């Protein structure tokens, strides 16, 4: 039985597949949960990031949660390293924390804020601040870490966040999401406010990948586990369309053989709610939309079917992870 977890902006949803439907169970309701991370070693251990409440952890699949006592309330990003199990949390105002004991204690990686570009970081809707939008520990190298600042740049560390290299050449500065290929060492991918990019040297340098798309405000990125040259982004015409609650004119694109194509095959055209989350698995893809819809493909995006949801209502979605 497959399982997904979603952050709704106000709760964590656990979705379990059975008999062609997905049973939704909400927890942490009213918490402001807006991001989450799954422990790759344990499908019952999930971390939730709260807009004003720090980090919570469950070790029983969402039945109960504990406060991890992060020393900063506004959590915008979380990650668990598949290489060494370290837990990372990013906040607004921009700060980065690491835990080496499953979020029992935290170390602030303060040198991130000593980068030369730091005084220029600014999030347009709240220009007096910025936040750590995405954290991507390499699954191949426990020392290697990518962090995206919204809006400030894509930063790289080769020592678990102790020291940093400033914004990497060729990458988008308005970082929305990052992904590593799970099997091919060194391959990384970015979706940003001005387009998408990829790296083949562990995130040290980046190549733009935008030609052939008619939408360049990209949000989520995912890569096929079996093919490092097959990857996906969701995109809209701009930030106000994507997040304004009206028609985002959204599309999901697939990049294959160096070319982009729009995915239809049953999806609405254009998609009426922004695809905030893409999750790739062997031969398939799940798209989570801002209004709580979930769509799935088992043929790399050629054809799509909507999920049949039962149980607690899922009316919003910010983030999505797949267990197993």
Look at residue 273 and give its three-state secondary structure. coil
Percentage with pLDDT > 70 across the chain: 100
The residue written with tokens 């600042």 in the block is 149
Give yes or no for residue 303 having a pLDDT over 90.
yes
Q: Does domain 3-323 have CATH number 2.130.10.10?
A: yes
> Distance (Å, rounded) from C-alpha 83 to C-alpha 72?
26
Q: What is the pLDDT of residues 15-66, one digit of tens each?
A: 999 988 999 999 999 999 999 999 999 999 999 999 999 999 999 999 999 9
Q: What is the pLDDT of residues 120-178, one digit of tens each?
A: 999 999 999 999 999 999 999 999 999 999 999 999 999 999 999 999 999 999 999 99
Q: 220-239 pLDDT, tens per residue?
A: 999 999 999 999 999 999 99
The encoded tokens of residue 281 equal 């698995």
Q: What is the DSSP string of 159-196?
A: STTSS-B-S-TTS-SSEEEEEE-SSSTT-EEEEETTEE
What is the three-class DSSP state of 119? helix
CA gap 252, 236 in Å, rounded: 9
The pLDDT value given to residue 246: 85
Q: What is the pTM of this model?
A: 0.97
Return the pLDDT at 1: 58
Is the backbone of residue 36 left (phi > 0), alpha (psi -120 to 50) or beta?
Answer: beta
| Beta strands, E only, 9-166 | 12-18, 21-27, 33-38, 46-50, 54-58, 66-67, 75-80, 87-91, 95-99, 107-108, 131-137, 145-150, 153-157
Class of residue 205 by CB neighbours under 10 A (exposed 0-12, middle 13-18, buried 19+): middle
pLDDT tier for residue 10 given thresholds of 50, 70 and 90: very high
Domain residue ranges of the chain, discontinuous segments joined by +: 3-323
Q: Cα dihedral sign for 310, 262, 35, 37?
A: positive
- Mean pLDDT, rounded, of the chain: 96
């Amino acid at each position: 039985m497959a399982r997904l977890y979603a952050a709704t902006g106000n709760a964590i949803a656990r979705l379990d597949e059975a008999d062609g439907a997905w049973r939704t169970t909400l927890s942490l309701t009213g918490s402001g949960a807006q991001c989450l991370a799954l422990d790759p070693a344990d499908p019952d251990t999930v971390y939730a990031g709260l807009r004003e409440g720090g980090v919570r952890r469950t070790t029983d699949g969402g039945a109960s949660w504990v406060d991890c006592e992060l020393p900063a309330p506004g959590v915008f990003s979380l990650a668990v390293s598949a290489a060494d199990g370290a837990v990372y949390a990013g906040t607004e105002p921009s700060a980065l924390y690491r835990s080496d004991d499953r979020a029992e204690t935290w170390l602030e990686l303060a040198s991130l804020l000593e980068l030369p570009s730091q005084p220029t970081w600014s999030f347009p809707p709240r220009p007096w601040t910025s936040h750590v939008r995405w954290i991507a520990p390499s699954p191949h190298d426990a020392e290697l870490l990518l962090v995206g600042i919204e809006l400030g740049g894509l930063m790289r560390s080769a020592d678990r966040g102790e020291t940093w290299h400033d914004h990497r050449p060729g990458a988008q500065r308005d970082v929305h999401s990052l992904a590593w290929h799970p099997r091919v060492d060194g391959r990384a991918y970015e979706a940003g406010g001005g387009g998408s990019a990829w790296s083949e040297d562990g995130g040290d340098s980046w190549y733009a990948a935008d030609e052939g798309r008619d939408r360049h405000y990209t949000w989520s990125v995912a890569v096929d586990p079996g093919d490092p040259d097959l990857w996906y982004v969701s995109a809209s015409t701009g930030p106000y369309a994507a997040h304004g609650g009206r028609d985002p004119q959204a599309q999901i694109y697939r990049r294959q053989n160096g070319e982009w194509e729009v995915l239809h095959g049953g999806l609405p055209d254009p998609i009426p709610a922004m695809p905030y989350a893409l999750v790739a698995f062997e031969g398939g893809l799940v798209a989570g939309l801002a209004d709580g819809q979930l769509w799935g493909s088992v043929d790399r995006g050629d054809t799509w079917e909507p999920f049949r949801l039962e149980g607690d209502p899922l009316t919003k979605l910010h983030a999505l992870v797949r267990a197993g």
